[in-house]
Amino acid sequence: MRKFALLLSIVAALAFTAAAGATPPTDASGSVIAGSATITGARVAGPNTFQDFVRTGVFTGDFAGSFSETGTRVVHSDGSFEDTHVVTCVCTVAGRSGTVIFMAVGKGTLSPVVNAESDLNTISATGGLSGLHALLEVVRVGSTVTYSGTYHFDPQ
């Protein structure tokens, strides 16, 4: 029992030390300039159309840099959709530059204008962005695309 208590104390101390070195959560916001999605494949299953797509664009604001994305969108007969995509951004955040990869999950409508929301969650970051953890919400209303959320850096 004494060994277990000692081990638990060491693990707790190490966890506290690592968390203490992380930067505090910081608000992020900005705009997205995205090109039109290029459909690279499509298939129909009942009333649903599955579309594979690619797109490029630029983040401006607290996340600044160019991105590319690949994903799959499921379009329903009523014009609504859900999608999952991977976004790779060569970005600068808080004066640090590198590459961050997000997993994105979204939903919206395609007509009469595109309205969509996606949540982007960091799955990896390299270079000066190593240790970056971000959760961003991207909102598109017509041709206007903005993002907001928070980020922090773990100690390296």
| Strand (E) or helix (H) holding 92 | strand 80-93
- Per this entry, what is the length of the chain? 156
- For residue 60, the cross-strand partners are 31
Is residue 122 within 8 A of residue 100, CB to CB? The reply is yes
Which of the four pLDDT bands, split at 50, 70 and 90, describes residue 20?
low
Domain 23-153 is of which CATH architecture?
A: Beta Barrel (2.40)
pLDDT recorded at residue 110: 87
Give pLDDT tens digits for 103-145: 999 999 988 888 999 999 999 999 999 999 999 999 999 889 9
Res. 101 pLDDT band, cuts 50 70 90: very high
pLDDT in tens, 117-127: 999 999 999 99
Model confidence over 40-76: pLDDT tens digits?
A: 999 999 999 999 999 999 999 999 999 999 999 999 9
* 3-state class (DSSP) for residue 14: helix
Sorted by sequence, the CB contacts under 8 Å of residue 102 that are 6+ apart come out as: 86, 87, 88, 89, 120, 121, 122, 123, 134, 136
CA distances from 62 to 28, 115, 118, 137, 153 (A): 5, 23, 18, 13, 14
- Tell me which amino acid residue 114 is: V
Assess contact for 107 and 87: CB atoms under 8 A.
no
Closest CA to 84 of 111, 107, 110: 107
pTM of the model: 0.83
Tokens found for residue 29? 């916001």
What is the model's pLDDT at position 36?
Answer: 87
Cα separation of 78 and 74, whole Å?
12
Pick from 91, 84, 85: nearest CA to 125: 91
Return the pLDDT at 13: 42
